[in-house]
Amino acid sequence: MIVALKEYEKRKTKYNLLLKKQEKRMNSLSNLRLAVFILGFVILIRMYTLKFYLIFDSVVLVMIILLCYLAHLHKNIENEKKYIAALKGINETSIKRLKGHWKDFQDTGEEFVDENHNYSYDLDIFGKVSLFQWINTCRTYVGRQRLKEILTKKPENEQIIHDRQCAVTELGAKIHFRQRLEAEAKIICNDKQDTKELFAWIKEKNDYILKNKIIWILRVLSIVTGITSLTLIVRIIDYVIAVLLDTSTSAPKIFYIIPYYIPIFFILVQCVILRIKREDRMKNLIIAEKYNYSIKTYRNMLKHIEKHKFKSKYIIDLCKTLYDNDAKSAYKQIDTFSKICESIVSRRNTLYPILNSILMLEYHWTISIEKWKIKAGDDFEKWLVIIGELEALCSIANIKYDNPHWSMPKIVAGASMITAKNMGHPLLGEKRVCNNLNIEEPYQVALITGSNMSGKSTFMRTVGINIILAYAGAPVCADEFCCTIMDLYSCMRTSDNLGQSISSFYAEILKIKNIVEASKEGKKVLFLLDEIFKGTNSKDRHTGAMILVKQLSRTGNLGFISTHDLELGEMANDKDSKIKNYHFSEYYRDNKIYFDYKLKSGISPTRNALYLMKLAGIEIEENNEDE
């Protein structure tokens, strides 16, 4: 962690210095542009007064070229500055994450919160102070969606996890690649823009516009109209200059050969043609303009990805799709598409209506889009899947880089089991207390008792969140960790749902029903149950809990159940019992209560509810306390 912190601070300092240099360059260029304009203006006035019209025209041309070139340089430096600022911001964010200030990050994944999911709501995978908020560095919609899928779906087999682990290990060491990929997306960030509409649009084909006869007619007509209109425009400009300077027209006679009504006629014809199926074309142009920035982002990210050589088989196989299209890379294909979309954005220019009526730009843009769809449209979604996968893997790889002392878990086949050494909750930072764990045959249920606030729920969340990290291919917060692939279910947070007329107790019953049904289907289930049946009377709670524990332990599942019902622990004494008792305890010093949050074997020997009531000011009689 110290090594990572030093690296982030070094990079932050480096990019801060580069930013200052870029600002100086931009200021110098701005001053130079102003100087060129003033000097050129002075020369123009002088040449005009001396009637050196040829020199006057030459200076105008030189000024335009020079100012355009300086403007181009200024734009490039401005883009570089944005890129450097993004890299600086990434390192600042990384420093905050390491120092425990990640709870202030804006992207919490709140839209992914699902109270009905098997475990994500109970284990704080999304939302404020969540796993997603801590690890996410995805800046595109596809990346965030892919990270969400990885954190909420069980991998199919051990090989998938192993492949991810190899990819995460490689990417963890590639800090340059990870930060540059994030910076490319951060510059033009649009991470909430859904891609479904974009994918559907690219799959649509409008073949009518691609008929050779139509294309040739449109091209020839545009060229003829463009040339004839140019003569008309030159004549108009020549006339305006002549009036302003009080001289005769000076344009070459060639521009006066074509009568003015010919270009006007062609323009009128094209205006009529532009009305044909205009709604279809406008849909194309509107969507292209809407997703212009996203497409530009994907282009830049693909360019960065294609520059790198990878060693892990998982990433190599993933990136093969980038070169499947006629030996032309995905970046080059999407670069062509990006340029088309960027030119379409120019519709917002005030001169667009005039240019469109002369050149029929709408048709030519539509033709270009449809040709691109046919050539590369079928691969577009595959390319974005690669971007999303690499973004998600880079988010996970940050864990590997920031926490080099965490271990890569072993994923094994066979009977359900979890073993861990010094396992802690990854989100608790320095406050975490680590515990050892060994749950495997013949035991299948860990029954955890203990007093209030002793750490039972936190421990179960620790198990759950480390299992999720293990399945994601990430290192886990433990010195050693081994487990099998299981379907994770939890029932830890339940609340009344007034909209659906569901009480918290019934909501708990529905969650437990899902666990029981999954068990009956023969799935390997890992369940985390916190204070089951707490919404009913003590007798029914005890009876129901005993029946449920026996049923779940008979199916060959693996699970953790926390309870205040100490009598449940006696089930471990039954013949052939698959239940193992654990507990958390407290101790008292100077009339204060303390917790060590250490997992111990056996049933809890202590209770603290009455003591806590006393602290709250509730008067407890001694004889009642003894009872």
Share of residues in the chain with pLDDT > 70 (%): 90
Dihedral angle, C-alpha 561, 564, 566, 568, nearest 10 °: -40
371 CA to centre of own chain? 30
Query: What pLDDT shows up at residue 158?
Result: 94
> CA-CA distance, 543 to 176, in Å (whole number)?
58
Instruction: Copy the structure tokens of residue 190.
Output: 């649009």
> CA-CA distance, 173 to 285, in Å (whole number)?
42
- The answer on pLDDT for 22 being more than 50 is yes
pLDDT band at 610 (very low <50, low <70, confident <90, very high): low
Query: What is the overall mean pLDDT for the chain?
Result: 86
Mean pLDDT of 145-169: 95
pLDDT band at 504 (very low <50, low <70, confident <90, very high): confident
Instruction: Copy the structure tokens of residue 340.
Output: 């088309």
Question: Among 1-5, 195-199, 454-458, 491-495, which is the least confidently predicted range?
Answer: 491-495
Mean pLDDT of 492-497: 64
- Asked if the 410-626 domain carries CATH number 3.40.50.300, the reply is yes
Beta bridge partner(s), residue 438: 419
For the stretch 250-300, pLDDT in tens is 555 666 677 888 888 888 988 898 888 888 888 888 999 999 989 999 999
> CA-CA distance, 516 to 525, in Å (whole number)?
9
**Distances 167 to 170, 385, 394, 412, 474 between C-alpha atoms, Å:** 5, 16, 9, 19, 10
Domain ranges of the chain: 1-99, 196-211+273-402, 410-626
For the stretch 33-53, pLDDT in tens is 999 889 988 888 887 777 776
CB 548 within 8 A of CB 508: no
pLDDT band at 248 (very low <50, low <70, confident <90, very high): low
| Cα–Cα nearest to 295, from 386, 188, 179 | 188
Query: What pLDDT shows up at residue 467?
Result: 97
Mean pLDDT of 57-61: 80
For the stretch 393-409, pLDDT in tens is 999 999 999 999 999 99
Percent of the chain that is helix, strand, coil (3-state, to 5): 65, 10, 30
Confirm whether pTM is higher than 0.95: no
Beta bridge partner(s), residue 346: none
Beta bridge partner(s), residue 256: none
> CA-CA distance, 426 to 419, in Å (whole number)?
17
- The answer on pLDDT for 385 being more than 70 is yes
Question: Among 258-267, 300-309, 456-465, 548-557, which is the least confidently predicted range?
Answer: 548-557
Beta-sheet strands, E only, within 277-327:
none
pLDDT band at 618 (very low <50, low <70, confident <90, very high): low
For the stretch 430-455, pLDDT in tens is 889 999 999 988 888 999 998 878 88
Query: If 0-12 CB within 10 Å is exposed, 13-18 middle and 19+ buried, where does residue 409 land?
Result: buried
> CA-CA distance, 446 to 581, in Å (whole number)?
6
CB 566 within 8 A of CB 558: no
What's the CA angle centered on 523, arms 115 and 396, to 5 degrees? Answer: 55
- The answer on pLDDT for 499 being more than 70 is no
| Cα–Cα nearest to 372, from 323, 306, 307, 325 | 325
| Alpha-helical segments (H) within 377-503 | 378-402, 456-472
